[in-house]
């Protein structure tokens, strides 16, 4: 056989093999495999009318704070990081300066919850936060090498005394709108500004459970969602209303279920890590 024909035949064989192996390879790189709900804080809100001006004045309520750990075929992703792990060591938790705000405790550290699942902080490929408030960003620096996914508008929003809200040296992708995180439509950041300038929510499509929309703080508890109430602590009322409408449209379009981060009554009905959703 002439040398050129041998080379051509070899190349054809290689191409044929690649065409057989590629679909399997592509398949193994797509899709969410598991979603864990982590306990990232438990608190008591002194006066829930802060989140519903004029309604429920003086009424106290138990709050929860969730983190969501997602196992995708391409790697781990953490959505929100909860209140700082140091609060776990405080005998009476962290009392707020304003008694109407939330008194947070941390029954378990995020570090211990990840360790229980056999996940090291360096295993996490992406950390995305719904927004920059401390009950969501408390442990971002547990993942100093991990790519942070945050809206540009949130990243650049000046903090107290004009301080940056995130460490400038932390690897970051500054988003401007929605983001299909793994490129397969299974995990999508949905821009929902209003509560803060760059607030975002997360649409997760699970093979067995179906689609979930993780609220972030676009809404804090069920009755406020049902009545589309805008909290007093809020960056832009019109944006907040538009974002809630966008969430409602997304829920309808994707036949998704809304999981409200701080809603204890709802979370009490859900499985916590080490149990998981598929
Ligand atoms: Zn919050």
pLDDT tens figures, 143-193: 999 999 999 999 999 999 999 999 999 999 999 999 999 999 999 999 999
User: Tell me: the pLDDT tens digits for 196-234?
Assistant: 999 999 999 999 999 999 999 999 999 999 999 999 889
Question: What are 201's strand-pairing partners?
Answer: 190
> What is the pLDDT at residue 4?
60
> What is the pLDDT at residue 2?
58
pLDDT at 110 over 90: yes
Distance 136 CA to ligand 1 centre (A): 6
Distance 81 CA to ligand 1 centre (A): 11
**What confidence tier does 246 reach under pLDDT thresholds 50, 70, 90?**
very high
Distance 221 CA to ligand 1 centre (A): 11
Distance 131 CA to ligand 1 centre (A): 8
Distance 18 CA to ligand 1 centre (A): 48
The share of the chain scoring above pLDDT 90, in percent, equals 88
* C-beta of residue 88 within 8 angstroms of C-beta of residue 108: yes
Q: What is the mean pLDDT of the chain?
A: 92
Q: What is the mean pLDDT of residues 16-36?
A: 69
Let me know if 103 is exposed, middle or buried by CB neighbors in 10 A (0-12, 13-18, 19+).
middle
pLDDT at 107 over 50: yes
Distance 91 CA to ligand 1 centre (A): 22
pLDDT at 18 over 80: no
Distance 69 CA to ligand 1 centre (A): 17
Distance 101 CA to ligand 1 centre (A): 11
Which residues neighbour 125 within 8 Å (Cβ) at sequence distance 6 or greater?
A: 74, 75, 76, 77, 146, 147
Distance 264 CA to ligand 1 centre (A): 13
* C-beta of residue 181 within 8 angstroms of C-beta of residue 228: no
**What confidence tier does 12 reach under pLDDT thresholds 50, 70, 90?**
low
> What is the pLDDT at residue 23?
47
Distance 9 CA to ligand 1 centre (A): 62
> What is the pLDDT at residue 19?
47
């Amino acid at each position: 056989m002439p040398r050129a024909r041998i080379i051509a035949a070899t190349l054809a064989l290689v191409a044929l093999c690649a065409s057989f192996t590629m679909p399997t390879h592509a398949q193994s790189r797509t899709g969410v495999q598991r979603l864990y709900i982590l306990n990232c804080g438990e608190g008591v809100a002194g006066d829930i009318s802060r989140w519903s001006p004029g309604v429920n004045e003086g009424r106290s309520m138990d709050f929860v704070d969730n983190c969501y750990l997602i196992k995708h075929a391409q790697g781990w992703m953490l959505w929100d990081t909860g209140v700082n792990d140091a609060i776990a060591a405080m005998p009476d938790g962290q009392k707020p300066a304003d008694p109407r705000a939330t008194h947070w405790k941390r029954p378990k550290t995020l570090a211990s919850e990840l360790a229980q699942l056999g996940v090291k902080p360096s295993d996490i490929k992406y950390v995305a936060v719904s927004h920059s408030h401390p009950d969501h960003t408390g442990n971002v620096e547990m993942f100093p090498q991990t790519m942070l996914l945050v809206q540009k508008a949130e990243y650049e929003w000046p903090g107290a005394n004009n301080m940056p809200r995130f460490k400038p040296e932390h690897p970051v992708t500054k988003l401007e709108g929605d983001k299909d995180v793994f490129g397969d439509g299974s995990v999508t950041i949905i821009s929902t500004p209003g509560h803060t300038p760059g607030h975002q929510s997360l649409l997760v499509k699970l093979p067995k459970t179906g689609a979930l929309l993780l609220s972030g703080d676009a809404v804090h508890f069920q009755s406020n969602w049902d009545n589309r109430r805008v909290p007093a602590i809020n960056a832009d009322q019109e944006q907040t209303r538009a974002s809630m409408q966008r969430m409602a449209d997304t829920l309808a379009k994707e036949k998704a279920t809304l999981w409200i981060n701080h809603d204890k009554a709802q979370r009490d009905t859900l499985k916590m890590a080490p149990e998981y959703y598929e």
